[in-house]
């Protein structure tokens, strides 16, 4: 067995010296030498996320409970645990734990401890018992370190601590028709039946039992605090939030469990990546972040860890991002913040590996020259990717993009975002991308009121996009001074038009009044003339009568 443990320990030491871990130590990643005298080789560990392909039997309890994509980062202690299981496999010639399925194996590890659960009824050579007990301790703080293992390999005896079964209680607690004497097993059962779990949480049954029988004077108070904090939280379903927080009190080492999903706090980024890659819903993961369940998990941990402060701060920030529907936010933003090395997964970039902002603009330049170019060079993933990588530079124009309601507003904001990236990263000219954006800028040019300006700017666009400089393109479509003059000119024209209208209306009123006066005067003159004619006629008649 030293021919297995010694070379793997040496490989883990080499990885540690390079500040790396393996994550998939198991019999399938061990390769025997092809030549006499060759050493055992440990297979690669970079083509899948840490622990993604690791069988449950080879994972410590906390990681084994999580989904493969949600196990999070691997520590050297996890590799050492896997080495212990691997050594046991080699001794037995079969999988440790017998025929137990994954769920039952986890339960047995909780009940008996990993070493006893995996050994079962098998007998181990006395010489190997000592290191396997040390490597398979469930408490990471007491598990053998790489230094301990190397000392054993050099002949120095190490006495492993006795395995302590966490969560044991003095009396059984009934739940959903079964009795439990271990809080970790109770938490597993409650996670599977959250409706029944919430009932015993809400009616006080759980707190009363814990106060009398758990042996932990503060656990009932912590359950009450978990209930209270769930009530003032947000995101998802209140009952599910409440159960999730209480489960963390019952089993702090377990992953975050919510609505059938189990992920470690560090594994949420990996779970998001898998969900986006496979097209699965991200709603539950988004609710976990919005409800601040990762922060609750950090607060539930009893052992201090320097990573926890940074983790809590990051998830506090992300809980504000995840509910935003604007470009640059939402679950996509959380994905790239939690997984900085994740390639941009936007549908525009399918089949390409985009690791940074310069890769992104070069890819868009290539896409812009293709036959099947999309409508716009921006989507939710691209916006979130850029914000995660270049937020300090592009926060201003990205906020304008998030608020844009029309195509020409989105075009102007997109140009502003891309031109900052091109200029700050000193990228080469991007003529095809410029042409793409220039064609989209038509509505922005059409928004000018002056026909001569529209004609002039249209000609400028045709010349500027050929330079490949997004800053020059932005100067044409987003010229504030020119837009201000156009606006002032239009306002002046409107004012002149209104003034002309008032003058015309005034003149028309005067003409109308003159016509009215003429009609009145004409009528008066006609009346006078008619009266005079009548007098003349009457006078003439009288004269004729006298004669």
Coarse DSSP helix, strand, coil percentages of the chain, rounded to the nearest 5 percent: 65, 5, 30
Q: What is the DSSP letter of 29?
A: G
* Residue 11 Rama label (left phi>0; alpha psi -120 to 50; beta): alpha
Residues 116 and 173 in one domain: no
31 sits in which H/E element: strand 30-31
User: What is the count of structural domains for the chain?
Assistant: 3
pLDDT score of 161 more than 90: no
**Long-range contacts of residues 306-311, Cβ cutoff 8 Å, at least 24 apart:** 311/265, 311/266
Q: What is the DSSP letter of 542?
A: H
Dist CA 291 CA 283 (whole Å): 12
How many other β-carbons are positioned within 10 Å of the β-carbon of residue 51? 29
Q: Considering the domain boundaries, does residue 494 fall inside one?
A: no
Question: What is the average per-residue pLDDT within 172-188?
Answer: 92
Residues 148 and 176 in one domain: no
Residues 383 and 464 in one domain: yes
Dihedral sign from CA coordinates of 297, 304, 165, 206 = negative
Last residue of a domain, one of 478, 508, 526: 478
Q: What is the DSSP letter of 429?
A: P
Residues 288 and 380 in one domain: no
Q: Considering the domain boundaries, does residue 474 fall inside one?
A: yes
Residues 137 and 175 in one domain: no
Per-residue tokens: 229: 């904090």
pLDDT tens digits, 105-119: 999 999 999 999 999
Q: Are strands 41-42 and 261-263 parallel, antiparallel or unpaired?
A: unpaired
At residue 440 the predicted structure's pLDDT band, cuts being 50, 70 and 90, is confident
Last residue of a domain, one of 478, 506, 539: 478
Q: Considering the domain boundaries, does residue 503 fall inside one?
A: no
- Residue 108: its pLDDT value, please? 95
Domain that holds residue 38: 1-154
Q: Considering the domain boundaries, does residue 402 fall inside one?
A: yes
Q: Considering the domain boundaries, does residue 143 fall inside one?
A: yes
Dist CA 181 CA 110 (whole Å): 11
At residue 147 the predicted structure's pLDDT band, cuts being 50, 70 and 90, is very high
Specify the higher pLDDT residue, 123 or 518.
Answer: 123
Dist CA 418 CA 422 (whole Å): 6
Q: For the chain, what is the largest distance between any 2 Cα atoms, rounded to a whole number of angstroms? A: 172
How many Å is the Cα radius of gyration of the chain?
40
Q: What angle do CA 268, 63, 341 make, to 5 degrees?
A: 40
Question: Are 59 and 96 contacting, i.e. CB atoms less than 8 angstroms apart?
Answer: no
Last residue of a domain, one of 91, 123, 154: 154
At residue 516 the predicted structure's pLDDT band, cuts being 50, 70 and 90, is confident
Question: What is the average per-residue pLDDT within 399-408?
Answer: 84
Per-residue tokens: 131: 């290191």
**Long-range contacts of residues 198-205, Cβ cutoff 8 Å, at least 24 apart:** 198/239, 198/242, 198/243, 200/175, 201/227, 201/242, 201/243, 201/246, 202/227, 202/242
Residues 453 and 415 in one domain: yes
Residues 215 and 117 in one domain: no
Find residue 107's DSSP bridge partners. none
Dist CA 469 CA 420 (whole Å): 11
Place of tokens 């025997």: 32
Dist CA 407 CA 410 (whole Å): 5
Residues 360 and 274 in one domain: no
Residues 380 and 470 in one domain: yes
- Residue 240: its pLDDT value, please? 96
Q: Considering the domain boundaries, does residue 92 fall inside one?
A: yes
Residues 271 and 364 in one domain: no
Place of tokens 């109770």: 186
Q: Considering the domain boundaries, does residue 410 fall inside one?
A: yes
Q: What angle do CA 517, 523, 524 make, to 5 degrees?
A: 90
Residues 133 and 209 in one domain: no
pLDDT tens digits, 39-88: 788 888 888 888 999 999 999 999 999 999 999 999 999 999 999 999 99
pLDDT tens digits, 258-314: 999 999 999 999 999 999 999 888 999 999 999 999 999 999 998 888 888 899 999
SS3 186: helix
CA 414 to chain centre: 21
What end-to-end distance do the CA atoms of the chain give, in Å? Answer: 167
Dist CA 494 CA 163 (whole Å): 87
Q: Considering the domain boundaries, does residue 230 fall inside one?
A: yes
SS3 173: strand
Q: What is the DSSP letter of 27?
A: G
Residue 219's contacts (CB-CB under 8 Å, 6 or more residues apart) are 210, 211, 249
Residues 8 and 147 in one domain: yes
């Amino acid at each position: 067995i030293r021919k297995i443990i010694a070379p793997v320990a040496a490989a883990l030491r080499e990885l540690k010296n390079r500040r790396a871990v393996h994550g998939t130590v198991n019999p399938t990643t061990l390769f025997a030498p092809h030549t006499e005298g060759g050493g055992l080789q440990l297979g690669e560990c970079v083509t899948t996320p840490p622990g993604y392909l690791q069988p449950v039997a080879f994972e410590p309890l906390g990681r084994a409970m999580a989904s493969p994509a949600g196990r999070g980062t691997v520590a050297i202690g996890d590799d050492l645990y896997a080495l212990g299981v691997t050594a046991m496999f080699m001794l037995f010639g079969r999988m440790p734990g017998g025929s137990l399925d994954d769920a039952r194996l986890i339960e047995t590890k909780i009940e008996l401890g990993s070493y006893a659960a995996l050994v079962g009824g098998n007998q181990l050579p006395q010489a190997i018992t000592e290191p396997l007990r040390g490597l398979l301790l469930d408490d990471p703080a007491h598990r053998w370190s790489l230094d301990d293992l190397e000392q054993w390999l050099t002949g120095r005896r190490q006495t492993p601590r006795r395995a302590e079964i966490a969560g044991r209680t003095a009396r059984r607690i009934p739940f959903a028709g079964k009795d439990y004497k271990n809080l970790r097993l109770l938490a597993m059962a409650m996670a599977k039946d959250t409706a029944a779990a919430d009932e015993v949480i809400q009616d006080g049954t759980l707190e009363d039992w814990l106060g009398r029988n758990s042996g932990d004077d503060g656990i009932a108070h912590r359950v009450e605090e978990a209930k209270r904090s769930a009530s003032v939280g947000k995101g998802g379903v209140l009952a599910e939030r409440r159960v999730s927080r209480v489960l963390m009190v019952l089993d702090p080492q377990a992953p975050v469990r919510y609505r059938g999903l189990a992920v470690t706090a560090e594994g949420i980024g990996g779970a998001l990546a898998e969900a986006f890659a496979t097209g699965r819903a991200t709603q539950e993961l988004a609710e976990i972040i919005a409800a601040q369940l990762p922060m609750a998990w950090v607060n539930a941990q009893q052992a201090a860890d320097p990573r926890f402060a940074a983790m809590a701060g990051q998830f506090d920030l992300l809980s504000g991002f995840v509910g935003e529907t604007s470009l640059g936010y939402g679950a996509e933003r959380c994905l790239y913040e939690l997984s900085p090395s994740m390639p941009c997964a936007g549908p525009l970039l399918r089949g390409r590996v985009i690791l940074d902002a310069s890769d992104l603009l070069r890819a868009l330049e290539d896409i812009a020259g293709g036959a099947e170019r999309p409508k716009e060079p921006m989507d939710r993933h691209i916006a979130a990717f850029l914000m995660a990588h270049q937020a300090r530079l592009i926060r201003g124009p990205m906020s304008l993009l998030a608020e844009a309601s029309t195509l020409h507003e989105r075009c102007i904001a997109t140009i502003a975002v891309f031109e900052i990236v091109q200029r700050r990263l000193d990228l080469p000219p991007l003529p095809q991308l410029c042409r793409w954006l220039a064609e989209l800028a038509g509505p922005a040019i059409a928004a000018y009121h002056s026909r001569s300006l529209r004609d002039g700017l249209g000609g400028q666009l045709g010349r500027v996009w050929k330079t490949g400089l997004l800053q020059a393109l932005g100067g044409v479509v987003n010229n504030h001074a020119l837009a201000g003059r156009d606006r002032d000119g239009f306002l002046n024209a409107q004012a002149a038009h209104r003034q002309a209208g008032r003058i015309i209306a005034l003149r028309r009123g005067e003409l109308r009044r003159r016509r009215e006066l003429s009609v009145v005067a004409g009528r008066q003159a006609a009346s006078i003339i008619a009266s005079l004619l009548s007098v003349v006629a009457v006078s003439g008649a009288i004269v004729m009568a006298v004669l």
